[in-house]
Amino acid sequence: MRKVKVYITLKEGVLDPQGKAVQNSLESLEFGGVKDVRVGKYMELMIEDSKDIDKEVDQMCDKLLANPVIEDYSYTIEEVV
Cβ neighbours of 4 (radius 10 Å)? 19
CA distance 81 to 70: 35
Contact 3, 75 (CB under 8 A): no
Q: pLDDT tens-digit profile of 11-69?
A: 999 999 999 999 999 999 999 899 999 999 999 999 999 899 999 999 999 999 999 99
User: Distance (Å, rounded) from C-alpha 49 to C-alpha 62?
Assistant: 20
**Can you give the CATH number for the domain in which 23 is found?**
3.30.1280.10
Residue 74 β-bridge partners: 7
Q: From CA 10, how far away is CA 3, in angstroms rounded? A: 23
- Domain that residue 41 falls in: 2-79
- The overall pTM is greater than 0.75: yes
Could you give the number of structural domains in the chain?
1
